[in-house]
Structure formats: structure tokens, C-alpha cells
Amino acid sequence: MFTGIVTTIGRVVAVEDRTDQRRLTIACDDDPGTIAIGASIACSGPCLTVVALGGVAGDMWFSVDAAAETLARTTVGSWGEGTRVNLERSLKIGDELGGHIVTGHVDGLAEIVARSEVTAEETGWGATARFDLRVPAVLARFVAEKGSVALDGCSLTVNSVEGDVFSVLLIPHTLAHTTFGDKGPGERVNLEVDLMARYAARLVEARE
């Protein structure tokens, strides 16, 4: 379980393709003494299990295996050496719930169709970016204005919705501390719809 609050950015340093799965090694600045084999880490959305780790505090690495289902539904299959990924450690009882409940189970991919900048001069406090994203029709019904979505593991508030396209606004801190600072039109990101929206829709379907 996660909250969609990215704690650090990791970098893929090795990729090993195996039968129906892929092993990725990711470098980051965490302390390996705080991570155990078998721990869950959200890597740009998908919840992946640590199968190996090493290094020292501030310069560590960990390895995860992505199975066929993850490779088919997420962007993990396109990651290569140098790919930057948003990282979040799993939630502990008593931690602050800063975003929203995120499971790390990606529902599908959203495509960035536009990015527009609002300059620091216009806002008076910092540069902001608006992203417009298109989602598959089957997932569009779960996206609501002022609701929550997780995009590449980031908890974001939906600003507007029009058909299968919705927008989010990213503040300077989010742009600086996640991989969204580098993203633009044509790129795809991992989408997890809000858990409550998914179950609410299922209840409605059951009554019909």
C-alpha cells in the first residue's frame, strides 16, 4: 500500500531479460539498511518486490523482477539503462497519508497529449505545468473532476475532464522531485485509478 508521494528518483542501471519476465536493477540514494529482501517498492507506479540489494547509504541499488502481466500493462517493458523512475517505499502504520490510497496495481497507460507552462511571473510563486492526458475508454469512467489518480506513482488531483481526456496541474515541487519535469506530449505514463471510484462503479454495475 502506498500514498502516491514520491520520495526519491531512481535510475535503471541494468536490465536482464528472462523468459516471460525482466529483472531491473535500480540505483538510488536510500540506505540499504532500511530495505529488506521481499520489500515492496512502487517504481513509477507498479508495486515491485526487492529480490536483491547492495551498496551503501546514499549510493545503493536494488533489483526487482517484472512478470509478463506487468510488462504488458505498464511502461516497465520499455525501460532501459538510464531510465529515471519515481520511487516510493510502502506505507507503514502511523505514516502520514499525504496523497491518497494507492495499491501499486496499474490499470493501464495514459498518453500525454499536451503540456502547457505557466511561468513564475504569471503565478507569482513558481512555474507550473498543465498536462492533458488521454486514457483508454474503459478507464475514463473512473476519472472524475477533483478526484484522484496516480500517474507514474504520483498522487495527483484531476483538474478537468472532457471525454477520455483529463488534465492535472503540477506545482514546481512536483516537477522538480519527480520524473514529470522531463515529460512531454507523446509519452505514456502508468495510470492507477482511484480505488474508491473502481469499487463504486462495480457496485453500480452489480445493481443494474
| Enzyme catalytic residues | 2, 40, 47, 49, 67, 105, 157
Residue 98 banded pLDDT, cuts 50, 70, 90: confident
pLDDT at 123: 64
Average pLDDT, the chain: 91
pLDDT at 206: 64
**CA separation for the pair 161, 132 (Å, rounded):** 9
* Residue environment code for 41-51, b if the CB has 16+ CB neighbours within 10 A, otherwise e: bbbbbbbbebe
Q: What is the DSSP letter of 46?
A: S
**CA separation for the pair 57, 30 (Å, rounded):** 6
The answer to whether residue 37 scores a pLDDT higher than 90 is yes
Query: How does pLDDT run across 106-125, given as a tens digit for each residue?
Result: 999 999 999 998 876 766 66
Query: How does pLDDT run across 138-156, given as a tens digit for each residue?
Result: 999 999 999 999 999 999 9
The answer to whether residue 202 scores a pLDDT higher than 80 is no
pLDDT at 31: 86
pLDDT at 88: 96
Mean pLDDT of 193-200: 80
pLDDT at 33: 87
Query: How does pLDDT run across 170-187, given as a tens digit for each residue?
Result: 998 999 999 999 999 999
CATH topology of domain 8-89: Elongation Factor Tu (Ef-tu); domain 3 (2.40.30)
Phi and psi at 179, nearest 5°, equal -80, -5
**CATH number corresponding to 108-207:** 2.40.30.20
3-state secondary structure of 73: helix
pLDDT at 53: 95
53: which strand partners? 62
Beta strands in 44-93 (DSSP E): 47-56, 59-67, 84-89
Secondary structure of 12-31 in HEC code, one letter for each residue? EEEEEEECCEEEEEEEECCC
Mean pLDDT of 28-35: 89
Q: What is the DSSP letter of 2?
A: B
Mean pLDDT of 18-31: 92
Query: How does pLDDT run across 41-77, given as a tens digit for each residue?
Result: 999 999 999 999 999 988 999 999 999 999 999 999 9
**CA separation for the pair 198, 142 (Å, rounded):** 6
The C-alpha angle 108, 4, 162, rounded to 5 degrees, equals 50
Q: What are the start and end residues of each CATH 2.40.30.20 domain in the chain?
A: 8-89, 108-207
Mean pLDDT of 69-87: 96
**Which carries the bigger pLDDT value, residue 98 or residue 135?**
135
pLDDT at 68: 93
Residues 6+ apart with CB under 8 A from 34: none
Segment holding 134, helix H or strand E: strand 128-134
pLDDT at 122: 67
